[in-house]
Amino acid sequence: MLARVQLPRTAKPGEVIEVRITIQHSMETGFRFELDGRPIPKNVINSLVARYNGAEIFRAEMGSGIAANPYLQFYTVARQSGAIEISWVDDAGNRGAERAPISVTG
């Protein structure tokens, strides 16, 4: 599963920074059918966690109400240099992770 994470490259200590995520995932609702009538099973990214140098800063529980190729944008306070890592799991048990570095100086 391909994903992208966007953060500012640098921030000042205490600055509120924007975190953006997109993940390539069909977020199957379970309500769709193949052309031959077979139902396509529900499979969505049901859980996503963002950690900043290991500490949880954001968590999402999602259902089929979140659009395909999910987009998330949230905020966190820049504390120290390091990385923000996003990890997630879907209904089929597939896991993914992506990280982006951040440099905090000031």
Partner 1 sequence: MKSGIEFVSDDLRKLQADDFANPGMLWVARGEKIWGEAAGNGGKSCAACHGVAAKSMQGVAARYPRVDPGAARLVNLEGRINLCRDRKQQAQPLGPESDELLALTAYVAHQSRGVPVSVTLDMQNRKDFERGRELYNRRIGQMNLACTHCHDRSWGKKLAAETVSQGHGNAFPAYRLEWQSVGSLQRRIRACFYGLRAEMPPYGAQELLDLELYLAWRAGGLPVETPGVRR
Partner 2 sequence: MSARRRFISMVAGLFAAPLLPARPARGQQADPFAPLVREITGGAAVRPGRVTVDTPRLADNGHSVPLSVNVDSPMTAADHVRSITLLSSRNPRPLMATFHLSPASGRAQVATRVRLAGSQRVLALAQLSDGSWWSGGAEVEVTESACLDAT
User: For residues 74 and 66, what is the distance between their CA atoms, to the nearest angstrom?
Assistant: 15
Stretches 3-11, 40-48, 57-65, 77-85: which one binds partner 1 (CB under 8 A)?
Answer: 3-11
- Return the structure tokens found at 60: 């999402």
89: enclosing H helix or E strand: strand 82-90
**Is residue 47 within 8 Å of 63, Cβ to Cβ?**
no
Stretches 8-16, 48-56, 63-71, 79-87: which one binds partner 1 (CB under 8 A)?
Answer: 63-71
| Contact pattern from residue 7 through residue 46 relative to partner 1, giving x for each residue in contact according to CB under 8 A and a dash for the rest | -------------x-xxx-xx-------------------
Contact status: 6 vs partner 1 (CB under 8 A): yes
Strands 10-11 and 71-77: unpaired
Of the candidate residues 49, 66, 68, 97, the single one contacting partner 1 (CB under 8 A) = 68
User: For residues 38 and 101, what is the distance between their CA atoms, to the nearest angstrom?
Assistant: 43
Q: Which residues bind partner 1 (CB under 8 A)?
A: 2-4, 6, 20, 22-24, 26-27, 67-69, 71
